[in-house]
Amino acid sequence: MSGRVLVGVKRVIDYAVKIRVKPDKTGVVTDGVKHSMNPFCEIAVEEAVRLKEKKLMKEVIAVSCGPQQCQETIRTALAMGADRGIHVEVSGKDYENLGPLQVSKIMAALAKKEEASLVIVGKQAIDGDCNQTGQMTAALLDWPQGTFASQVSVEGDGLKVEREIDGGLESIRIKMPAVVTADLRLNEPRYATLPNIMKAKKKKIASVKPADLGVELTSRLEILAVEDPPQRQSGVKVESVQDLVTKLRDSGTL
Amino acid sequence: MFKIINKQTLRQVGSLMHRSQSTLVIAEHTNEKLTPITLNAITAASKLGGEVSCLVAGTDCAKVADELSKVQGVKKVLVAEHAAYKGSLPEELAPLILATQQQFSFTHICAGASAFGKSLLPRVAAKLDVAPISDIIAIKSPDTFVRTIYAGNALCTVKCNEKVKVFTVRGTSFEAALTTGGSATSEQVSTPVPVGMSEWLDQNLTKTDRPELTSAKVVVSGGRGLKSGDNFKLLYDLADQMHAAVGASRAAVDAGFVPNDMQVGQTGKIVAPELYIAVGISGAIQHLAGMKDSKTIVAINKDPEAPIFQVADYGLVADLFKAVPEMTELLKKK
């Protein structure tokens, strides 16, 4: 009951929004579009807060990298029960280039600085769909990783993690300090209540710059184009099951 | 005469550039058998134009190494056998890959974008201080790749200027390499000292006689509309008539109708079968991400407004509890 948990939270376009690609093919339209916390990050925060409630961890720190608006995402984590926040300010061109490699360097530097014994992040962000940050953070720290976790339990100085793998589930035991990435089935995130939202306003969010952490943001990946995927031809409605089977047979599908 | 020399020189330079590409594919396997997605990754690796090597690491590699040596396009099979590779833990495999990379200096390192590849390759990339590229669906040139973002709603073309390109390959976007006709040489690689900070305990795999979901030719999927786990029996019966795999939407998994590993979608499995039959699935963005590259899509849903009908080639507005058994009967008749 001494550990400190660092939770990574990302601000992304809300999962229910139908995105639009910019006409100049440089990216997707983000201005005026509803943003919220990445769903997998909510699960990560929930898990961290539960560990604290079980008195297995003493403090939960929520971290987000990006522009000013990320503070709202951190605020949400604070309302869910995180103790304090760290906003790593990245904007403009640097923010466009901010990928999992840069974020994992920031997370690793903060994990050391804050003497965290556990880092929890979501398994992937639903915008970039990279599924890399947790693994890379673990690598940079030389810590073990429990990716795609659907169950986490503290056992002595380590963790038992049940992972979602292709054919089913597997269990591993990893030593702490460690990095865990949350899968959908890890838990059901709580809603922040109004009193907790009010309380969260009093909690501290520290602002730091990547340079303060000794992290360089240069990227050697270049986005050449972002385009719409090919559109499917519109289909037909069939009247009966017989009709459906006949059509599938005639087209050679069955 | 000068022209001839020039042409020859050019050709030499060309072939040199060709030869300078070399790719390492990390083989995924169960010690008994190669996992099929590795064959798709080998095809992707072959498209880069250079020499393709495969690394087999495990507790017992002989069978898989032998299987790989016959796969078309593979030049060299590197074998690393050690008790520490039990459960293919990334903490143990990453140092092995780094040591192998030091010895052979590959320009590209890849694996299939399965749970195994997704867990391992970013760890390797971070150690090499390079940004990896996930789940690529096309290779435009040795440094330019296409992948999807935003649950498959946008295609992103990325140029990678890293010294080593580390990427995972979407299995359904590349054909499987032929498992015969190859003649690769085999070589043992030395194994680093075990790290010992993680331990594999056990596995609980879902047992099924049906084809594997991600490589099945026909997939029948059920959603919330099935109402219970018992009702999934209707889909199993239908699937059996078509030798199909059975998938599910997140709603069906969350409701406990079926296990997690059957989930199709942005955060589950990506499938692209010849025929995908969506039964009682509304067609949320996150589900479409996992199946909209299927060749033919059929939707059976009682709600005519369900978004699934916008991507379905054939849509049937009907009660699934009547339509599915009827379809099973019709298929039995031939």
Read off the pLDDT of residues B81-105 as tens digits, 9 standing for 90 and up: 999 999 999 999 999 999 999 999 9
pLDDT tens digits, residue range A107-131? 999 999 999 999 999 999 999 999 9
Tell if the CB–CB gap between B153 and A18 is shorter than 8 Å: yes
Residue B18 reports pLDDT greater than 80: no
* pLDDT confidence band for B265 (50 / 70 / 90): very high
Average pLDDT for A87-96: 95
CB-nearest partner of A232 from B114, B153, B292: B292
Question: Per the structure block, which two tokens stand in for A80?
Answer: 């869910």
* pLDDT confidence band for B16 (50 / 70 / 90): very low
pLDDT tens digits, residue range B210-242? 999 999 999 999 999 999 999 999 999 999 999
Beta carbons of B196 and B254 less than 8 angstroms apart = no
Residue B3 reports pLDDT greater than 70: no
pLDDT for the residue numbered B15 = 44
Residue A35 reports pLDDT greater than 90: yes
pLDDT for the residue numbered B274 = 97
Residue B13 touches partner A, C-beta closer than 8 Å: no
Average pLDDT for B149-177: 98
Residue A80 reports pLDDT greater than 50: yes
* pLDDT confidence band for B14 (50 / 70 / 90): very low
Percent of residues, chain A, with pLDDT higher than 90:
96
CB-nearest partner of A228 from B129, B154, B309: B154
pLDDT for the residue numbered B31 = 85
Residue A160 reports pLDDT greater than 50: yes
Cis bond leading into B259, ω under 30°?
no
CB-nearest partner of A164 from B198, B260, B296: B260
Sign of CA dihedral B273, B277, B278, B279: negative
* pLDDT confidence band for B79 (50 / 70 / 90): very high
Tell if the CB–CB gap between B157 and A168 is shorter than 8 Å: no
User: Chain B partners of A248 at a C-beta cutoff of 8 Å?
Assistant: 275, 296, 298, 314
* pLDDT confidence band for A49 (50 / 70 / 90): very high
Q: What is the distance between the alpha carbons of residues B112 and B181, in angstroms, rounded to a whole number?
A: 22
Tell if the CB–CB gap between B330 and A241 is shorter than 8 Å: yes
pLDDT for the residue numbered B6 = 52
Residue B232 touches partner A, C-beta closer than 8 Å: no
Question: What mean pLDDT is reported for chain A?
Answer: 96
Residue A159 touches partner B, C-beta closer than 8 Å: no
* pLDDT confidence band for B12 (50 / 70 / 90): very low
Residue A183 touches partner B, C-beta closer than 8 Å: yes
Residue B318 touches partner A, C-beta closer than 8 Å: yes
